Structure 1
Amino acid sequence: MSHPTWLITLRNLSGRLGARYRGPQTANFDGQRFHNLDRQPHHGLRAFLKWQRERGRQTPWIDQPGPATRPDVQAQVSGEELRVTYINHATLLIQHRGLNILTDPLWCERTSPFSFIGPRRHHPPGLALDELPPINLILVSHNHYDHLDIGSLRELARRFPEAKVVTGLGNGELIRACGFNDVSELDWWQSLPLPEGMLLTGVPAQHWSARSRRDTNRTLWLGFVLESPDGPVLFPGDSGLGEEFKLMHQRFGPMRFAALPIGAYEPRWFMRHHHMNPDDAVQAHQQLDSQCSMAIHFGTFRLSDEGQFTPVSDLARALEQHGVATERFRAPKPGDQWHIAPLPWVTL
């Protein structure tokens, strides 16, 4: 089934699946809908149909094999040690100071409310569910199907019923329905204390939300900064390039580690306000003064028009053009595990 057919089908058939936040007006909530710091107009059906009319012939994606060797995942790590295992898409296992953290967990075969249509997986997860250590904390950045996957959350709730889930305003009810009891909703710049002297803060992202044709921007999208005595760690979820990264640097200082999305960026006129391309991601890396950045959100599901392997080659070109050392911003393969050094000026 072609992209236009299944996407229009999702818009028309899944209206019942939406949710909405109800609360007082704030700087980023008008009482009905949330908005970005940069209030660019949201692309509607007309713009979507224009994209579909103008797109050229698309080269099919090919299925990729899983990792040749399984990553060495510890039950937990302690002290300043920081391990990040790339599972797929925007799903990371972050291990630090005794906590095992999952981001936007996604083990489904399709990013869709239906099992028979929607973007399908072209790369197996780098870690199977059975290979996960005990999970303490799950971060859900927003409600798009490639970030909030009901099937994956239900399975995680069955395996780790004591895990805490943190998400944006309005998403809690949907996540509780998956079986989790401990769910917190954050607004931008709102913080939550964690063990070992750590602090989790919701941060702005330039994106949007929707699970149906009737709930656009009714729930909040956000990223997360994990502050610890060893330096801050950023998981931004999904974001275009805006002032958000400069604001994070002003508030938290240089990042020890940042996961930065580099995929789903073509055509630019349609995607630029909500998805970074690799050049944008390198600029975000520089604005954050990130010691180590990991490329995410590419190569697993075909969500836009760039080629399957184009994000990685475009990242290499952008790093060269901006004079950024390749060892500071790399693209992993599912199953890759990185050991992130502490910031050099942090006293341990």
Structure 2
Amino acid sequence: MRNLILFVFITLLCLISGCATNQVNRIKADNLNSAPQKDERFTNRYPGTKTYPYSCEDNCYPPTNEIRCESDMENCQFVGINPSVTEQTGFVINWLGHASFEIETPSGQRFLIDPVFTQFDWPVNLAFKLTHDFERKTPNYTLDKPKPVSAVMYSHLHYDHFNKHDVTQIGNKTRYLVPMGFASHFSQNHYKITEMDWFTSTSVEQTTVHFVPAHHFNSRIWVPFLYDDTNETLWGGWLVEEGGKTLFFAGDTGYSQHFKDIYTRFGEIDICLIPIASYFHEQHETWYRYVHTRPEDAIAAANDLKCKVTIPWGYGNASWQMGDHSSHSPLFRLLKMLKTLKTDSQFIILNEGDTISL
């Protein structure tokens, strides 16, 4: 009787106030393009031992006048001169820091990619603060702008790319584009969520958004001997296409054949946003490189994709420096490798908070 009364009460409450549920749509690829799975967990398209086109072996962080720092590769600003880009795409890129970008398309659509405005979600942030002081400077950014957010895209669940607190700030008036299995990590609050498989697409007004592979992994919860959610949810990158122009966001990824697959599907990419951090320089180096691009791997990826313009990310004062020497060591290494390796891509270097029209 007690349970019946409780059920009736909850039902009446829902009828009066409306129970908050999310609207979830799933776009599955055909068997040829769908993300592979093993034992109901997603896997990379090209697992196994890797060989890399380039590797910096000596003097990887030489001093440069193009970067001005308060201390040794810490708290820096890029002060060099970027190459002039003549071909205009109509995209406006605002790098918020780490992996977070605000993108405006040629038609004026406003997208957020992996927006993380604060620290890690609680309680993980508290744990890191107690053990490693794993903090970063908060990006200087406001959501309150005249133009509404057309869509938010997340590449994967890791705490430096997806923050539940920030989702509540963004709100439920926009669309959320996410990998397969991702929607269950949203609270129930009338969010409009589209889960996508690799090489599937959806439209946002005049813009086509494609979800594409990355070489990484995914997890949100890991409790020894109790529960491990590794790879239950997919991961990937995003390709935004409008008016024949393309912008690619790689997500967290190691170097693999998937970059050439993306080029085969879409041809030359106008703008590529590719990470150059994080990487371990000592222990766990092989595993970390397997799922993260070093600066030289980012150059190889830009070559595979035939990127006309490449914007690196992951370094910086508003980054968590996960495994890097310092806040800007990846950028020092990239500038050295750009003088060493051949590439036709024009690398544009930004500081956090910079906005550029291309």
TM range (shorter): 0.7 to 0.9
Letter in 1 for 2:256: G
Q: Which residue of 2 is the match for residue 277 of structure 1?
A: 294
Tell me the TM-score normalized by structure 2.
Answer: 0.72
Q: Which residue of 1 is the match for residue 304 of structure 2?
A: 287
* Poorly superposed stretches of 4+, deviation over 6 Å: 60-63
Give the stretch that moved more between structures: 229-238 or 272-281.
229-238
Name the CA shift for 1:180/1:244 in 2 (closer, same or farther; >3 Å): farther
C-alpha displacement at 1:65, in angstroms? 9.0
Aligned length: 284
Cα distance in 1, alignment partners of residues 348 and 255 from structure 2: 18
Cα distance in 1, alignment partners of residues 95 and 262 from structure 2: 23
C-alpha displacement at 1:283, in angstroms? 0.8
Q: Which residue of 2 is the match for residue 308 of structure 1?
A: 327
Name the CA shift for 1:99/1:113 in 2 (closer, same or farther; >3 Å): farther
Name the CA shift for 1:249/1:146 in 2 (closer, same or farther; >3 Å): same
C-alpha displacement at 1:308, in angstroms? 2.1
Tell me the TM-score normalized by structure 1.
Answer: 0.74
C-alpha displacement at 1:180, in angstroms? 5.1
What are the Cα deviations for residues 134-177 of structure 1, in whole angstroms up to 9, with x where unaligned?
211100000000111111111111xxx221000100111213x1
Secondary structure of the 1:270 match is helix
Residue 86 of structure 1 pairs with residue 95 of structure 2: yes
Secondary structure of the 1:109 match is coil
C-alpha displacement at 1:113, in angstroms? 3.9
Q: Which residue of 2 is the match for residue 211 of structure 1?
A: 220
C-alpha displacement at 1:178, in angstroms? 6.5
Name which of 106, 110, 113 aligns with 2:116. Answer: 106
Secondary structure of the 1:93 match is strand
Cα distance in 2, alignment partners of residues 134 and 230 from structure 1: 24
Name which of 320, 338, 342 aligns with 1:319. Answer: 338
Residue correspondence of structure 1 range 223-302 to structure 2 within 5 A: 223-267=237-281, 268-299=285-316, 300-302=319-321
Residue 337 of structure 1 pairs with residue 345 of structure 2: no
CA contact under 8 A between 1:64 and 1:124: conserved in structure 2? no
CA contact under 8 A between 2:117 and 2:141: conserved in structure 1? no
5+ residue gaps, structure 1: 1-20, 42-59, 68-78, 341-348
CA contact under 8 A between 1:125 and 1:335: conserved in structure 2? yes
Secondary structure of the 1:313 match is helix
Q: Which residue of 2 is the match for residue 138 of structure 1?
A: 152
Cα distance in 1, alignment partners of residues 192 and 266 from structure 2: 27
Name the CA shift for 1:183/1:292 in 2 (closer, same or farther; >3 Å): same
Residue 152 of structure 1 pairs with residue 166 of structure 2: yes
CA contact under 8 A between 1:65 and 1:124: conserved in structure 2? no
Give the stretch that moved more between structures: 300-309 or 231-240.
300-309
Secondary structure of the 1:106 match is coil
Of the two structures, which has the highest relative contact order with CA contacts closer than 8 Å and spacing of 6 or more? Answer: 2
Cα distance in 2, alignment partners of residues 284 and 111 from structure 1: 31
Letter in 2 for 1:85: N
Secondary structure of the 1:250 match is helix
C-alpha displacement at 1:111, in angstroms? 6.1
Which structure's CA Rg is the greater one?
Answer: 2
Q: Which residue of 2 is the match for residue 190 of structure 1?
A: 200
CA contact under 8 A between 1:63 and 1:123: conserved in structure 2? no
What are the Cα deviations for residues 286-342 of structure 1, in whole angstroms up to 9, with x where unaligned?
1111111111122211211432221001110121111337x81133111111111xx
5+ residue gaps, structure 2: 1-25, 50-70, 79-87, 223-227
What percentage of aligned pairs have identical amino acids?
A: 24
Q: Which residue of 2 is the match for residue 7 of structure 1?
A: none
Secondary structure of the 2:127 match is coil
C-alpha displacement at 1:246, in angstroms? 0.8
CA contact under 8 A between 1:103 and 1:138: conserved in structure 2? yes
Secondary structure of the 1:92 match is strand
CA contact under 8 A between 1:263 and 1:276: conserved in structure 2? yes
Q: Which residue of 2 is the match for residue 38 of structure 1?
A: 46
Name the CA shift for 1:64/1:112 in 2 (closer, same or farther; >3 Å): farther
Q: Which has the higher strand share?
A: 2
